[in-house]
């Protein structure tokens, strides 16, 4: 079966979608990613969609679902690299990706994940000190 | 199917944003034809009025039909497990949108994007 590769880099999982995303492929990615988050204990997931030339309501929903599932599994998700024409179309379609963190490119996405995690770590440290 | 629509839109000289809107609308409508209509056919044609060219897509199925078309066009309404954005959303991505549906006979959606 066709699969999108998931790479582990330090405390993050990296996914770069380089193929035409059909519905079954999106669902397989969702299953693979959630399984991999649990198995590897990572705290962050970065999904690069710069090669996707459309994001329709199904792919949009799957990205939102992945972010929500990851959050429940204690991992942050950031979606990076959306093409401007795709962003324009998505909003007009009525899919606003609420609840999904986005960044312009991989580098900014990594920064966002790191700062989200260090904030979370800082919060825990404070909690400990006051306990 | 998406690829074909893209090729035609490029050949007609649509801008990247217009291509993206049309391909996205086609993706939504094809999913409806497949999921709710039990499969069907898509027809692509180049159309022209006196001043401009356009691309027209017709999605046809012999499925159960849509009981209440107005309701089906509403954002967030779905009889399936979808977001309910496909039909209403794709209408916003094109210039002309027509839907004909008969209970027990099927559904035909015709969309046109003018250049």
**Domain limits at B32?**
2-114
Specify whether the CB–CB gap between A14 and A48 falls below 8 A. Answer: yes
pLDDT at A77: 97
Q: Domain limits of chain A? A: 6-130
pLDDT at A121: 72
- Residue B53, number of CB atoms within 10 A of its CB: 13
Nearest CA to A104 among A121, A90, A87, A123?
Answer: A87
Give the whole-angstrom CA distance, residue A105 versus residue A16: 12
Residue B56 pairs with which residues in a beta bridge? B45, B112
- CB-based contact, B93 to chain A, within 8 Å: yes
pTM of the predicted model, to two decimals?
0.90
Residue A16 pairs with which residues in a beta bridge? A48
CA atoms within 13 A on the CB side of B112: 12
Residues 67-106 of A with CB under 8 A from B: 83-86, 88-90, 92-95
- CB-based contact, A119 to chain B, within 8 Å: no
Superfamily designation of domain A6-130: STAS domain (3.30.750.24)
Domains in chain B, number: 1
Specify whether the CB–CB gap between B115 and B54 falls below 8 A. Answer: yes
Task: Please give the average per-residue pLDDT across B11-31, as a whole number.
Answer: 97
Contacts of A23 in chain B (CB under 8 A): 31
Give the rounded percent of residues in chain A with a pLDDT score beyond 90: 81
Q: Is the pLDDT of residue A124 over 80?
A: no
Pick the more confident residue, A53 or B82: A53
Say what the ipTM of the complex is: 0.91
Give the torsion through C-alpha atoms of B31, B35, B38, B44, to 10 deg: -10
pLDDT tens, B43-89? 999 999 989 999 999 999 999 999 889 999 998 888 887 788 889 99
When the pLDDT of each residue in chain A is averaged and rounded to a whole number, the result is 91
pLDDT at A44: 96
- CB-based contact, A31 to chain B, within 8 Å: no
Residue B43 pairs with which residues in a beta bridge? B58
Nearest CA to B67 among B33, B101, B91?
Answer: B101
Pairing of strands B106-114, B53-61: antiparallel
pLDDT at A122: 67
- CATH number where B65 lies: 3.30.565.10
């Amino acid at each position: 079966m066709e699969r999108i590769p998931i790479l582990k880099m330090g405390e993050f999982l990296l996914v770069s979608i380089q193929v035409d995303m059909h519905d079954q492929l999106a669902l397989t990615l969702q299953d693979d990613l959630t399984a991999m988050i649990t198995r590897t204990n990572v705290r962050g997931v970065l999904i690069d969609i710069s090669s996707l030339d459309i994001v329709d309501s199904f792919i949009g929903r799957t990205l939102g679902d992945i972010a929500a599932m990851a959050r429940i599994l204690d991992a942050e998700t950031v979606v990076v690299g959306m093409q401007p024409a795709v962003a324009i179309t998505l909003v007009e379609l009525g899919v606003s990706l609420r609840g999904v963190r986005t960044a312009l490119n991989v580098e900014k996405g990594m920064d966002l994940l790191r700062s989200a995690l260090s904030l979370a770590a800082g919060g825990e440290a404070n909690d400990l000190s006051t306990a | 199917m998406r690829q074909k629509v893209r090729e035609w839109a490029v050949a007609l000289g649509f801008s990247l944003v217009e291509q993206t809107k049309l391909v996205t609308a086609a993706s939504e409508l094809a999913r409806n034809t497949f999921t709710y209509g039990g499969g069907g056919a898509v027809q692509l044609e180049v159309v022209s009025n006196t001043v401009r060219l356009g691309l027209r897509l017709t999605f046809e199925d012999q499925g159960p039909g849509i009981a209440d078309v107005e309701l089906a066009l509403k954002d967030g309404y779905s009889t399936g497990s979808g977001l309910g954005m496909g039909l209403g959303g794709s209408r916003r991505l094109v210039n002309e949108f027509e839907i004909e549906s008969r209970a027990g006979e099927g559904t035909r959606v015709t969309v046109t994007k003018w250049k």
